[in-house]
Chains A and B, each alone.
Chain A
Amino acid sequence: MKEHEKLREELSLAAAGALGRDEEQRVLLHAASCEECAAELEEWRSLAGGLRRLPTPQPRGEVVERSIALAAMRFAEESEYRSNRRVMIFLLAFAWVLTLASWPVFRMLSSGVLTWLDPQFNHTWMSFAALTLFLWATGGVAAVLLARQRQSERSMA
């Protein structure tokens, strides 16, 4: 009796094709010998069949076309955003390389270790590096703010 109750609980899942092969086999074997479960299984199958045969509502053609257009537009925006980001990263890396490279270049131009050790020269290079960094940082912040503004304008639209 316990087995009957247990298998009866699985009848709906058997009709839904949601049991493993062995489990389903056990349920079907039981249903073949139990009139009550056979009738109930038939009921579940009828319900499952009704669900499978439900008519499919279809979207209007203009909705489909508009979806394609909107998605294509967003896709282009995403591509542009990624391209801009790549350019930004390149420029930032370039700025750092330029700033750091200026040190050995200055050393080479000043020709000589003594000048390199000159505190006056170090001061000049540091000022140059700080100014360069400040300019790049300002440019970067401005670019980020502009990008954010543009993004919010897009989402408003």
Chain B
Amino acid sequence: MGLESEVAQLRRGDLDALAAMVSRYQNRLYRYLMRLVRQPADAEDLFQQTWVRVAERIRQYDPQRNFDAWLFSVARNLAIDHLRRVRPDSLDEPASGEIEGETKAARLVSKDRPAIDGILERERAGQVESALEELPVTYREVLTLRFEEEMKLEEIAAVLEIPLSTVKTRLRRSLGRMRMTMRARCPNDDRNANA
């Protein structure tokens, strides 16, 4: 069943379509919320709230709009409200350490690769993830939407409700901050030492 027909069925009150939709988006939505709030407990709570909000507002959703952008916008508004309410200073607060509750298995990139490649790849992924976590939420969200959700800039603008030019500016700045952090963390890595 396609996304459009799932949305149409949900608007008509089909609860099977709701389950199918949650299943379709569960990993992407949870990952996005994790990137925003960084704490698994908060992300899980917001994940539930997002689907409750979707149930409340699905009839107000305009089918002409991109559903991904609408869904992520709903999740984002809840996450930003949560951060403002619970940890108002955390919107720009740098964090450190690993993500709690994430299994080691989830960090494995590929079982087919030689062991040393896998270790180096995981190490690199850990560095990138830590550097990402240190960014302010406005930079984290633009990076996760572009590189993990692979959204177009127009879609990102719709989710964040900002002009396209601001998306470009934020993307450029967030990558710049990422590079600085990566260089500071691993100055000997060839991939961070160019230029």
A residues contacting B by CB (< 8 A) are 9, 12-13, 15-16, 18, 36, 39-40, 42-44, 46-48, 50-60, 63-64, 66-68, 70-72, 74-75, 78-79
Q: Determine whether the beta carbon of B195 is less than 8 Å from that of A12.
A: no
Determine which of B40, B55, B175, B192 lies in contact with A16 in the assembled complex, contact meaning CB atoms within 8 Å.
B175
B residues contacting A by CB (< 8 A) are 13, 15, 18-19, 22-23, 26-28, 30-31, 34, 40, 43-44, 47-48, 50-52, 54-56, 59, 99, 101-102, 106-109, 121, 124-125, 127-129, 132, 143, 146-148, 150, 153, 168, 171-172, 175-176, 178-179, 182, 191-192, 194-195
Q: How many A-B residue pairs have CB under 8 A?
A: 136
Q: Determine whether the beta carbon of B19 is less than 8 Å from that of A68.
A: yes
Cα distance, A48 to B182, chains bound together (Å): 12
- B150 CB to nearest chain A CB (Å): 8
- A63 CB to nearest chain B CB (Å): 5
- B144 CB to nearest chain A CB (Å): 8
- A52 CB to nearest chain B CB (Å): 5
Residues from chain B with Cβ under 8 Å of A75 in the complex: 13, 15, 18, 55
Q: Determine whether the beta carbon of B51 is less than 8 Å from that of A70.
A: yes
Q: Determine whether the beta carbon of A54 is less than 8 Å from that of B148.
A: yes
Determine which of A15, A51, A72 lies in contact with B143 in the assembled complex, contact meaning CB atoms within 8 Å.
A51
| Known contacts A43-B191, A57-B30; is-contact A78 B129 (Cβ 8 Å) | no
Residues from chain B with Cβ under 8 Å of A58 in the complex: 26-27, 30, 106
Residues from chain A with Cβ under 8 Å of B44 in the complex: 59-60, 63
Cα distance, A21 to B50, chains bound together (Å): 36
* Closest partner residue, chain A, to B179 (CB atom): A47
Q: Determine whether the beta carbon of B179 is less than 8 Å from that of A43.
A: yes
Interface of chain B, helix or strand or loop or mixed? Answer: helix
Interface of chain A, helix or strand or loop or mixed? Answer: helix
- B46 CB to nearest chain A CB (Å): 10
* Closest partner residue, chain B, to A63 (CB atom): B44
Q: Determine whether the beta carbon of B125 is less than 8 Å from that of A47.
A: no
Cα distance, A53 to B118, chains bound together (Å): 13
Q: List 7 A-B contacts (CB under 8 A).
A: A13-B172, A16-B171, A47-B191, A52-B150, A56-B27, A71-B51, A71-B52
Q: Determine whether the beta carbon of A72 is less than 8 Å from that of B55.
A: yes
Q: Determine whether the beta carbon of A40 is less than 8 Å from that of B194.
A: yes
Q: Determine whether the beta carbon of A39 is less than 8 Å from that of B194.
A: yes
Q: Determine whether the beta carbon of B176 is less than 8 Å from that of A57.
A: no
Cα distance, A133 to B28, chains bound together (Å): 55
Q: Determine whether the beta carbon of B106 is less than 8 Å from that of A64.
A: no
Q: Determine whether the beta carbon of A64 is less than 8 Å from that of B109.
A: no
Determine which of B34, B99, B171, B195 lies in contact with A43 in the assembled complex, contact meaning CB atoms within 8 Å.
B195
Residues from chain A with Cβ under 8 Å of B102 in the complex: 55, 57
